[in-house]
Amino acid sequence: MAHRQSTFRKQHVSAEYGYTVIYERLLEGGYQVIVPALPGIVTYGRTLEEGREMAEDAVRCHIRGLLKDGENIPIMNALTCQSTSSRASCARQG
């Protein structure tokens, strides 16, 4: 009897998403970071760079959770940035 070996390919799907990210300078130091399109994402960084890294990680984890649960992923387009003395934000508009 001939022996058959079945092969399965794992498919990898990749997409880029962009979201409004708001960095708020806190009086006690550091930055609070929120992503309004993804409820529940609130993080903190001692510097803007650390806040950005924390936000990227939070968004990545949140999207993985949405995919795992079969939920829809909010999609936004065209990037615009704005900054004030106490806030800086970048927004994708569509």
Q: Which fold has domain 21-92?
A: Double Stranded RNA Binding Domain (3.30.160)
pLDDT tens-place values along the chain, 94 residues long: 455 554 544 444 555 667 889 999 999 999 999 998 888 899 999 999 999 999 999 999 998 998 899 988 887 643 444 444 455 555 544 4
Q: What's the number of CA atoms in the CB half-sphere (13 Å) around residue 61?
A: 12
User: What pLDDT shows up at residue 79?
Assistant: 44
Please tell me the predicted confidence (pLDDT) of residue 15. Answer: 58
Q: DSSP 3-state assignment of 32?
A: strand
Instruction: Give dist(CA 65, CA 11) in Å, integer.
Output: 18
